[in-house]
Structure 1
Amino acid sequence: MPYNAPEGTADMLPAVARLWRTTTDTAAKLFSTYGYEPIDTPLFELTEVFTHGIGEATDVVGKEMFVVRSGENYKRALAAGSDAGLKAKQKLSLRPEGTAGVVRAVVQHNLVEQGAAPAKLFYAGPMFRAERPQKGRLRQFHQIGVECLGASEPTADAEMIIMLMRFFEVMGVPAKNMRLLINSMGDDACRPAYRESVREFILAHEDEMCEECRRRADTNPLRAFDCKNENCAHVMEAAPKIVDHLCDDCRAHYESVKALLDAAGISYVEDPTLVRGLDYYTRTVFEVQVTEGMGSQSAIGGGGRYDGLAETVGGRPTPGLGFALGFERMVLALEAAGALSEGSKRVDGYIACVDQSVRPAAFDLVCAARDAGLCVEMDHQGKSLKSQFKMADKIGARVVVILGPDELAQGKARIRSMQKHTEKLVDIDAAKRLLSQFGGQLVGSGSTPVNIDAVFSFENDDKE
C-alpha cells in the first residue's frame, strides 16, 4: 500500500517549490533594503523557550505544540507515566513560530551589545502546529518573518508595517484586496489592570460565553476577543477596550505610529479587539487580512512589539518587534485575486543525439553549456530522435542542438529554433570557445548567465 504525506502536511512539488524560492528571494531582496540580514535557527528548541516566551496559557503552547523526544527519553517518560523526570535539555519541541527562537539566538550570541545598533534579522522556513487541518491551515506550514531587537522608537513600528505591506504588493497581492488592522496592547504599566477588567466582564457574562472563553477568563482573558463563536464575539463587542485604558506613554507611542503611517500614505483600520494570539506582545500589534476569497482564514500576516520577550529567555531588557507572514495563506490570496504566477522552469536548450555514436560529444557540449550557466538537458533513456524532439517541446526548450555522425565529422551541429521552426548549422568549436568565456557563471554566482542566442547565433553559418 503506498504511503501518503501525513495529515495536515503538503508536498512542495516543483511549481510550488519554485514559487517558495521566488518568494524567499523577493523577501531577501526587499528586506535587505531596510537593513535586515538572514538568520536560520533550529527547527526544534528547548520546550521552555516556547512555554516561557509564548506563554503556557496560549493555545499554541497548550494545545498545538509538537513535543520531541529521543527514543530513549520517550521510553523513560512512558515507563514513568510522565516526562517530569526528564531534564530541561531533554524536553524539546518543534517550533510553532519563529520569534522565540530568533530572540533566544540574539540573547545567546549577544547580537545586541550595549549601545549597539539594533539586530535586524529575517528568516524563512517551516513551522509546526497540531491544528485541525483545513484550507489555509496546515500542521507543517511555511513562514517568512522579521525580527528587530534593540529599537524602541515608533519609527521602527511604522517601518516594519510599511515593509510588510510593500512585500505583499511586490508579490502581487492587490492593495485593494488587503486591509491593515492595528491596535495597541499596552504594556506592564497599563495592561494588568485592563486584563483584570476584561476578566471581570467575562465572568459577569459567563452564562453567555462558550466553555473555552470561560476558561480563558482566568488564563488569558484577552484571547476571548479572538473567539470564533458568533455569540462570544457579540458579547465581547461590549467589553472594555484597551485604547480606553492605555497609560500616557503607550498612548503617545500608538499615536506616533499612526501619524507615521498616515504620512506614508498607508491606510489602516483601528481594531480595538485585535489582540493577536501570543502572550509576548506589548504596545503595537497589527494584522494584514485579505478582504475577499479567503473565508475565515483571511489573515495573511501580522505581528507587533514584544519589549519583554528577551528577558523571558534569559537576556537583559531589550525592546523588540517583528512580523510573520504565511506562505500558504499568501498563495491562497494570490489565487483569489487571480494574480498567482508560479513561474515556469527555465530550459535554454536540449542536446539531441541522432544515434549512440555521438553521445560522448553531446555530453561534452552539455557540460560546457551548464558550466556557462545555461540550463540544458539531454536524453538519458535511449529515446529515438523523434521522441527526443517531443521531450524538448514538452519541457519548453528554446532551441534543440542536433548532433549526428555526418555533421559531427564536419565539426558542425544542427540548431533548431523551437519558436521560429528554423534550422541552421553552427561550428561546434566556435560555440565551445564562446561558452568557455562564460565558464563559472552559474546561477547564484552574482553574474548574469550567457544567453543561449549569443552562443548559437553566428551570422556566417550556413542556413538550411
Structure 2
Amino acid sequence: MSQLQSLRGMVDLLPEQTRRWQAVEAVARDHFRRAGIEEIRTPLLEVTELFARGIGEGTDVVGKEMYSFLDRGERSCTLRPEGTASAVRAAVQHGLLSQGAQKLWYAGPMFRYERPQAGRQRQFHQIGVECLGVSSARSDVEVIALAWDLLAALGVQGLELEINSLGTPEDRQRYRNQLVAWLEARVDQLDSDSQERLATNPLRILDSKNKATQALLVDAPTLLEALSPESASRFEQVQELLSQLGIPFQVNTRLVRGLDYYGHTAFEITSDQLGAQATVCGGGRYDGLVEQLGGPATPAIGWALGMERLLLVLEAAAQADPEGPAARLTAPSPPTVYLVNRGEAAESAALGVARSLRQLGLSVELDGSGAAFGKQFKRADRSGAAWAVVIGDEEAAAGVLRLKPLLREGEEQRLALNAPSELAEALCQAEQR
C-alpha cells in the first residue's frame, strides 16, 4: 500500500517547529495583554460572500486564490484567506461594536491557492490585530508601534517601516482616473498580469513584481499627489507621531495593500535578516469595511504578520546572534529533571515520582526505554536537564532515590523515595547555591 503524503502547500509542524511557534505566540500574547487587546477565535470556514464583499471581487485573492466549494446545503463556502473580514463579521454579528471600541487579536491558519515557496504555503498562519472604532492618526501610530515593538522583542533585526496614505475613497477614485489614463497610454509596456489588472484593479499594478513594470512606474503619478488637503494633513500627523516615538520610517508612494478595503494609512515592516528585505508584517486602515459587511459605519485599523516568514527570519537572527533574544526564543527548553530508572520495581516507583514532581510544577522527562543506566545517562546529558533522579531496584527496595547534578559540580544526594516535596525542596536549595 502506498504511503500517504500531505497535500502540496499544506505543511506539517513537527514538535521542534511547534515549540518555536508556541514561543512566538507566548511573546505576542503577553504584548497584547499589556496593550489591552483581547483574543478572538473565528471559524476556518465562512460563506464565500464575506470575502467577495469584504476583500473585493476584482482582487487576485477572490478571483484566483480562494478555496471555495458548495457544501451539502448548496451554500458557497470558503476557507478563510485572511483574518480581518472574519473578525469584523464576528464583531458585527455579536454586537461587540455597541460596547465601544474593540481591540482584538487572532492567530491561526489561512488558505490561499498560491505557488508554494519558502515562507509561503497554501495553508499559512497569521497573527493579527484589529482595532475597531478608533479613527485618529494617533491610533494608527499606536497599532504600528505595537507591531514594531513585538518584532523587536522577538529579536528580529534590520527592521524597516514603509508607510503610505491611500487617502479616502474619493482620493483613490481621483488617483485611479489619473493612473489609468497614464497607464493606458503605455499599455504595450505593461506585463500581461498588469494589463489584466488595468481593467479590474489598477492600483494593484503598483505592487507588481515585474521588473520592467516597476521601472515604468517610476515616472507614474503618485497617490500622495492626489490626496485632499485633509488626507495629506492626516498623513503628516502620522509621520510626526512616528518621529516622536523614535520609530524610523520611509514613505513609499508605491505601497498599496492587496485588498480593496484599505484607506488612509498603509504600512509594511520588513527585515533584512534573510539577506534581501522581506516583509514580515503589513496592515493599514480600513474605515469602510464594517459598513460593507452590514455593520454601522466604523473606523478601523489592523495588521497581520505571517508566521512562516517570521520563523525563517527568527532562525536567521538566532544564527547571527547566538546570545540574542531570537536564539533564546528558538532554543529548546530542557527539563529540570531527567528520571533514570531500570527494573520492574524501580520503573513503577519512577512513574509515581515523575507524576508527583510534575504536580509540584517541575518539568520532568521520564526515561521509558528500560535501557542500561549508561545509555540512559547519555540521554539525560543530551536532554540538557540540570538534574538526574536515579532509581534502580536497589533504591526502590531501600525506599530512596539518588539526586545527581548534571550541569554543575556537586555531591550526589540520597533522598526518601516517597517524599517528592522534600526532593523539590532539595532541588530549589541547590539552584540557589
State whether structure 2 residue 128 is matched by structure 1 residue 127.
no
Q: In structure 2, what residue type is equivalent to 1:301?
A: C
User: C-alpha distance in 2, partners of 1:360/1:455?
Assistant: 27
Partner Cα separation in structure 1 for residue 273 and residue 429 of structure 2? 48
Q: Do the aligned partners of residues 397 and 171 (structure 1) sit closer, same or farther apart at CA in structure 2, a change above 3 Å counting?
A: same
- Tell me which amino acid in the other structure corresponds to 1:137: R
Match of 2:217 among 224, 236, 251: 236
Deviations 1:214-245 (A, max 9, x none): 11111100001011111111111222111111
Of 280, 286, 291, which residue of structure 2 is paired with 1:306?
286
Tell me which of 171, 177, 197 is aligned to 1:190: 171
Residue 155 (structure 2) aligns with? 172
Q: 1:350 aligns with which of 317, 335, 338?
A: 338
* Distance verdict in 2 for CA 1:429–1:402, change over 3 Å: closer
What residue is the counterpart of 1:81 in the other structure? none
> 1: distance between equivalents of 2:432 and 2:240?
61
Give the counterpart letter for 1:192 in structure 2.
Answer: Q
Summarize the alignment of residues 260-271 of structure 1 with structure 2, pairs less than 5 Å apart: 260-271=241-252
Is the 1:349–1:400 Cα contact (8 Å) retained in structure 2? yes
1:332 aligns to 2:312 (yes or no): yes
Give the 4+ runs in structure 1 shifted more than 6 A: 455-459
Distance 1:458 1:136, change over 3 A: closer
State the Cα RMSD in Å: 2.2
Structure-2 separation of matches of 1:141 and 1:226: 21
| Native 8 Å contact 2:197 2:205 kept in 1 | yes
1:125 deviates by 1.1
CA separation in 2, counterparts of 1:135 and 1:206?
Answer: 33
- Secondary structure of residue in 1 paired with 2:176: helix
Instruction: Report the CA distance shift for 1:353/1:196 in structure 2 as closer, same or farther (over 3 A).
Output: same
Determine whether 1:453 maps to 2:427. yes
CA contact (8 A) 1:434 1:455 kept: no
The superposition leaves residues 405-435 of structure 1 with CA deviations (integer Å, 9 ceiling, x where unpaired) of 3333433211211123655233225742447
Q: Which residue of 2 aligns with 1:151?
A: 134
Aligned: 1:285 with 2:266: yes
User: In structure 1, how many angstroms separate the alpha carbons of the residues matched to 2:290 and 2:427?
Assistant: 55
Distance change (3 Å), C-alpha of 1:457 and 1:314: closer
Shift of the 458–28 alpha-carbon distance from structure 1 to 2, 3 Å rule, reads: closer
CA contact (8 A) 2:344 2:393 kept: no
Label 1:185 to 1:25 Cα distance change in 2 as closer, same or farther (>3 A).
Answer: same
Report percent identity of matched pairs. Answer: 39
Q: Is the 8 A contact 1:294 1:333 kept in 2?
A: no
Partner of 1:362: 350
On the 8 A contact 1:306/1:321 being kept in 2, the answer is yes
Instruction: Please name the residue that 1:408 is paired with.
Output: 396
Aligned-pair CA distance for 1:293: 2.7
Q: Does residue 315 of structure 1 match 2:295?
A: yes
The answer to whether the 8 Å contact 2:339/2:389 transfers is: yes
Q: CA deviation at 1:69?
A: 3.9
Task: Provide the C-alpha distance between the structure 2 equivalents of 1:96 and 1:128, rounded to a whole number of angstroms.
Answer: 5
Verify the 8 A CA contact 1:414 1:423 in the aligned structure 2.
no
Which 5+ residue runs of structure 1 have no aligned equivalent? 74-85, 436-449, 460-464
Aligned counterparts of 1:147 and 1:323: Cα–Cα separation in 2:
7
Partner of 1:25: 26
| Equivalent-residue separation in structure 2 for 1:423 and 1:161 (angstroms) | 53
Aligned length, in residue pairs: 424
Alpha-carbon separation, structure 2, partners of 1:95 and 1:41: 10
Counterpart Cα distance in 2 of 1:50 and 1:178? 31
2:80 matches 1:92 = no
Preserved CA contact (<8 Å) 2:353 2:418: no
Deviation at 1:394, TM superposition (A): 2.8
User: 3-state SS of the aligned residue for 1:359?
Assistant: helix
Per the TM alignment, residue 451 of structure 1 is displaced from its structure 2 partner at its CA by 7.8
Is the 2:124–2:308 Cα contact (8 Å) retained in structure 1? Answer: yes
CA separation of 1:49 and 1:165: change in aligned 2, threshold 3 A: same
The corresponding residue for 2:10 is: 9
Matches of 1:348 and 1:51, distance apart in 2: 52
Q: For each residue in 1:18-58, what CA deviation from the matched residue of structure 2 results, as whole angstroms up to 9, or x when unmatched?
A: 11111111111112222211111111211111110011111
Q: CA separation in 1, counterparts of 2:313 and 2:351?
A: 44
Query: What is the SS of the residue equivalent to 1:391?
Result: helix
Match of 1:105 among 73, 79, 90: 90
Preserved contact between residue 401 and residue 417 of structure 2 (Cα < 8 Å) = no
| Cα separation, 2, equivalents of 1:456 and 1:359 | 26
Structure 2 distance, partners of 1:56, 1:335, is: 37
- The secondary structure found in structure 2 opposite 1:45 is strand
Give, in whole Å, the separation in 1 of the partners of 2:269 and 2:129.
15
Structure 2: unaligned runs, 5 residues or longer: none
- 1:258 — aligned with what? 239
Q: Is 1:413–1:427's contact at 8 Å kept on the other side of the alignment?
A: yes
**Distance of 1:455 and 1:69 partners within structure 2:** 63
Q: Which moved more, 1:161-170 or 1:407-416?
A: 407-416
- 1:384 matched to 2:365? The reply is no
Q: What TM-score, normalized by structure 1, do the two folds share? A: 0.86
CA distance in 2, matches of 1:407, 1:426: 9
SS in 2 for 1:189: helix
